[in-house]
Amino acid sequence: MKPLIRALFCVCSLLCAALAGATAETRGEIVAMKRLTEAQYRNTIADIFGSETGIYGRFEPDYRRDHLIAVGSAWTSVSPSGFEQYERMALGIAEQVLNEAVRDRYLQCELPKSHIAGDACARAFLDYYGKRIFRRPLSERERADRLAIAAKIMQLGGGCLRRAGTRPGQPAGLAGLPVSDGNPRAGSGRTRGERLTGYSKAARLSYFLWNTTPDEALLAAAGNGELHTRDGLRRQVERLLASRRLETGMRALFADMLRFDTFPELTKDAQLYPVFTTRVAQAMQEQTLRTLMDHLLVKEDDYRDLFTLDTMPMNPELGMVYAVPVSWREGWRDFRFEDASARNGLLSQASLLSLHSHAGSSSPTLRGLFVRETFLCQYVPPPPADVDFTMDEAFAVKATARERLLRHREEPICAGCHQLMDPIGLTLEQFDGVGMFRIRENGALIDVGGELDGEVFAGARGLGEALSEHPRVPACLVNTVYRYATGRPAVNSERELLGALEAGFAASGYRLRELLAQIATNEKFYDADALRRQVSTAEEKS
C-alpha cells in the first residue's frame, strides 16, 4: 500500500505544481496564457479537493496592468521565488489529500493489494484529477509520462527516483503548465482558422464568470462539443449566470476594478485615525462588495443607480466610521441615510474614500484620479518630473485642501491635469482620510462645490448624480468588463464590438447580467485568430 500512496503523492503534487497558469489553446497551438490569480488558485483547489484543503505558501503579488490584475496576469510569468512557493503549496495539498485519515475520499479505487491493481489505481487517480487540474483530459503522452513515474516508484517499493546526472546549471526535466497535445507545429506553427478547443472555451468562461475552474457540467459540455454550438454555449452561459457562484466571480471582478488587492498594505496613522483597524478595513471592503452584489445581481438594478444609492449595508464595526446608530450586535443590515445626510452613492463609501487618501490626510487629487480612471476610463498623465514646487510653500499653511490645491490652478503647467481631478475630489472633502464625515478642516468650514466635465454641483450627492448621468460611465464599465474577460485592453478593431456591447447594455436597462451574457456568448470572446492577432496588436500598442 505504501508504494502506491507514495506514487500517488508524486502524481498529485506533480499535477498541482502545474496549477500556476491556464492556457487558451487550439488543437496544437497555445494562443494565450495567463497566470492564475491568488483567488483563482484558491477557488480551483477548493473546487477540486474541497474547501477544507489548506494552502500553505505565499503567493506572488498579483501584477496589475492597464488598471486590472486580469490584464497583468496575461503578461506576467512566474519568478523563481514564486515557483518555490507553488511547489510548496503543491506538496502541502498532496500531503493533505493522501493523508491516511481522509484519503479514501480522494482515491479513485479501493486500495489494492497487488502490484497490477496498483497501476490501475494510479491510472484512475491520474485520469480523474488530471482532467480537473488541467481542465481537459491529459494527452496520451502526458499521461504516459506521469504514469511512468508512478510505476517506477511503485516498482522501487515506494522509494524515490531521481534522474541521474542532473547537475545545477543544466536543464533538467520539467514539470509544466497544462499543455495540449495534437500536432505541434514548430515555431511558425500558426494555425489560422483553428478554433479554441472546447476545454479552453470552458476554462475561459468559467474563470470569467465564476473565477474558478470549470465544473463537471461545463467540462462535459466541453467534451461533447456542446460549447461549439450556439445554443449549447448559450445554455451553459445561462446556467453559469443563474448560479449562486456568479457572485464569487463578480466579487473578484469588482475587487480587481476597485483595486481592493491594495487594501492589505494600506496604512493609516493610528493617532489621527484610531478607528481604522484591520477588521474595520475588511468590513469596509465587504460593505462595498455587498452593495454591488445586492444591487447588480440580487435586485438586478440599473448600474448607474449605484452612484446615487441612499442605502448601504451596515454592521456594528462600521457604525463607528459612519457615526450612525447600529442597534444590532453582529451581521449586516441595510441602513438608510436621511435626505439631509451627505452620504450618497458608492463614492461616499469608506472603502473607496480610504483607499484613495494618504495615511494621514484625505486627497482630492487621488480621489479625482480614481474616478477618472475607474469609472470614466480616462487617462490622466502623471505629473511632470521637474515641477516647480516652490509655490507650495505659500499654500501649505492654508486650512482646507481646497485652498491648498489652489496652487494647481494658478500654475498653468499643473492646471491642465489637475482641473480634471481636483474639482471631482473636492466634492468628497467632507470625508476625511478614512471616510469619516466632517464639516470643518483645521477649523475652517469645508466647501464641497465641484465640477465634472462642465456639470457644476456640490457634495457627494451632486457627484453621484453627475456620474449616474454621465454617458461615459456605462461605456467604461463595458470596457472594463471586456478587458477583464479577455485579459487585454480592447484594440481599435474592436470598437464596433464595444459599441454593440454598449448598445446592448443600454437596451437592457444597464443590467450587469445582460452585459456578461453578451460577452460570454460572443464568438469573439473565443476566437483564436482574433485572440492571437489582438495580443500582438496590444503588444505593438504598448
User: What is the Cα–Cα distance from 536 to 530, expressed in whole angstroms?
Assistant: 10
State which residue, 260 or 335, has the beta carbon closest to other proteins: 260
* Nearest approach, Cβ of residue 33 and other proteins (Å): 5
Q: Which of 37, 47, 69, 82 binds other proteins (CB under 8 A)?
A: 82
> Is 423:371 a contact under the CB 8 Å cutoff?
no
User: What is the Cα–Cα distance from 207 to 203, expressed in whole angstroms?
Assistant: 6
Residue range at the interface with other proteins (CB under 8 A); choices 74-82, 318-326, 448-456, 458-466: 74-82
User: What is the Cα–Cα distance from 359 to 370, expressed in whole angstroms?
Assistant: 17
* Nearest approach, Cβ of residue 229 and other proteins (Å): 26
Interior/surface letters 464-487, b for 16+ CB within 10 angstroms, e for the rest: bbbbbebeebbbbbbbbbbbbbbb
Q: Which of 5, 19, 32, 519 binds other proteins (CB under 8 A)?
A: 32
* Nearest approach, Cβ of residue 396 and other proteins (Å): 5
State which of positions 306-365 bind other proteins (CB under 8 A): 358-361
* Nearest approach, Cβ of residue 334 and other proteins (Å): 34
Q: Does 151 bind other proteins (CB under 8 A)?
A: no
* Nearest approach, Cβ of residue 418 and other proteins (Å): 14
State which of positions 162-191 bind other proteins (CB under 8 A): 162-169, 171-177, 179-181, 184-187, 189
Q: Does 416 bind other proteins (CB under 8 A)?
A: no
State which residue, 187 or 412, has the beta carbon closest to other proteins: 187
* SS3 per residue for 93-106: HHHHHCCCCCHHHC
**Residue 403, class by beta-carbon neighbours within 10 Å (0-12 exposed, 13-18 middle, 19+ buried)?**
middle
State which residue, 390 or 492, has the beta carbon closest to other proteins: 390
Q: Does 288 bind other proteins (CB under 8 A)?
A: no
Q: Does 156 bind other proteins (CB under 8 A)?
A: yes
Q: Does 101 bind other proteins (CB under 8 A)?
A: no
* Nearest approach, Cβ of residue 101 and other proteins (Å): 19
Q: Which of 4, 8, 31, 414 binds other proteins (CB under 8 A)?
A: 31
Q: Does 141 bind other proteins (CB under 8 A)?
A: yes
* SS3 per residue for 322-387: HCCCCCCCCCCEEEECCCCCCCCCHHHCHHHHHHCCCCCCCCHHHHHHHHHHHHCCCCCCCCCCCC
State which residue, 128 or 263, has the beta carbon closest to other proteins: 263
Task: State the number of binding residues for other proteins (CB under 8 A).
Answer: 97
Q: Which among 373, 381, 380 is positioned nearest to 483, based on CA atoms? A: 373
Q: How many CB atoms lie within 10 A of CB 378?
A: 14
Q: Does 274 bind other proteins (CB under 8 A)?
A: no
Q: How many CB atoms lie within 10 A of CB 496?
A: 9
State which of positions 425-464 bind other proteins (CB under 8 A): none
Q: Does 54 bind other proteins (CB under 8 A)?
A: no
Q: Does 279 bind other proteins (CB under 8 A)?
A: no
- Nearest 5 degrees, angle CA 525-CA 528-CA 532? 105
Q: Which of 158, 232, 319, 504 binds other proteins (CB under 8 A)?
A: 158
State which residue, 79 or 224, has the beta carbon closest to other proteins: 79
Residue range at the interface with other proteins (CB under 8 A); choices 10-18, 337-345, 463-471, 522-530: 10-18
* Nearest approach, Cβ of residue 393 and other proteins (Å): 4
Q: Which helix (H) or strand (E) element contains residue 457?
A: strand 455-458
User: What is the Cα–Cα distance from 356 to 335, expressed in whole angstroms?
Assistant: 24
Using DSSP, state whether 509 is helix, strand or coil.
coil
State which of positions 188-227 bind other proteins (CB under 8 A): 189
Q: Tell me the three cell numbers of residue 486.
A: 479577455
Residue range at the interface with other proteins (CB under 8 A); choices 228-236, 335-343, 466-474, 529-537: 529-537
Show the site string, 377-406: x = touches other proteins by CB under 8 A, - = not: -----xxxxxxxxx-xx--xx---------
State which residue, 20 or 241, has the beta carbon closest to other proteins: 20
Look at the block and give the residue holding cell 448598445: 503
Q: Tell me the three cell numbers of residue 321.
A: 466610521
* Nearest approach, Cβ of residue 143 and other proteins (Å): 11
The alpha carbon dihedral of 487, 489, 493, 494 has a sign of positive
User: What is the Cα–Cα distance from 498 to 490, expressed in whole angstroms?
Assistant: 8
